[in-house]
Amino acid sequence: MSKIIRLVEGEMVRLYKNKILPVSLFVTLLWIFIIAFSTREEIQGLLPAILVIDSAMLSIIYLAAAFYLERQEGAIKSLFVSPLTSKEIIISKIISTIITSLISTIVIILTFLLVHKAEVNLFLLIVYTILIVFTHSAIGFVIVLNCRDFAQMLGLYAAYAILFFLPTVFFLLQIIPDSWEVLLLASPTHSSMLLLQSAILEAELLFELVAFFYLLILGLSLFIFYVKNKFKEYSVLG
């Protein structure tokens, strides 16, 4: 455990040094601006989508950017020279990504509560944010481990967004009817939005349970059966 704590501390330092934490802070300030200058009715419907973008879609970008910068600097290679396992390195990266996202989520929610005097289930929001970041970190690793560089990763990320995020946008705009939502649950992004929505507004309990266990099983499966085996091999290349 002490190794992981030290690794997480190192990850947070590198995230700051590589300007990823400042970028995350800037994005959070943009969300605060949107929340502050929107009506309660407008932002209450929009808030789950903002949180999905922040905790799901952007977490993939932050993780990938950090990974490629560390790989370019040789930081990841040096970790494998030390008495550390791939599992410990992966866990530290997941935890640092979760910490970054949780800070942003809490600031966004506190702004919403202070400005609009609304009520949310903060405990559920935190639990669901951790799960969403965990699963999307796994997805981020899968994307990263199948790309040669950051530019190629952006192409694959764009394809992922079109396939899984765009349908959720169409659903929010009511281009896709409500009757199709059961099919949209196959999208990690839509399942994430439904969970966050249930903590802010309301959602059907059955859909909420399906979304929760789907994201949990998906994240665990990707890490256990793919990321863990591929990570060390890819990291030391070049």
Q: Is the model's pLDDT at 233 over the cut of 80?
A: no
Distance, in Å, from the CA atom of 111 to the CA atom of 233, rounded to the nearest integer, reads 43
Does 238 have pLDDT greater than 60?
A: no
Q: Please name the amino acid found at residue 159.
A: A
CA distances in angstroms from 81 to 78, 117, 145, 223, 232, listed in the order given: 5, 52, 20, 22, 12
Residue 44, CA distances (Å) to 8, 38, 82, 113, 187 in order = 34, 9, 48, 11, 22
* Whole-number Å distance between alpha carbons of 23 and 233: 30
Residue 193: CB atoms within 10 Å: 26
Cα gap 84→89, rounded to integer Å: 7
Place of tokens 């969970």: 195
Six-digit token pair at 33?
């601006």
Instruction: Find the domain containing 101 and state its range.
Output: 2-235
Report CA-CA distances (Å) from 161 to 55, 126, 188, 211. 14, 24, 11, 18
> For the chain, what is the domain count?
1
Q: What is the pLDDT of residue 16?
A: 86
pTM greater than the 0.85 cutoff:
yes
The mean pLDDT value of the chain amounts to: 88
* Over residues 50-69, mean pLDDT: 89
**Can you spell out the DSSP letters for 97-116?**
HHHHHHHHHHHHHHHHHHHH
DSSP 115-143: HH-----HHHHHHHHHHHHHHHHHHHHHH
pLDDT at 173 exceeding the cut of 90: no
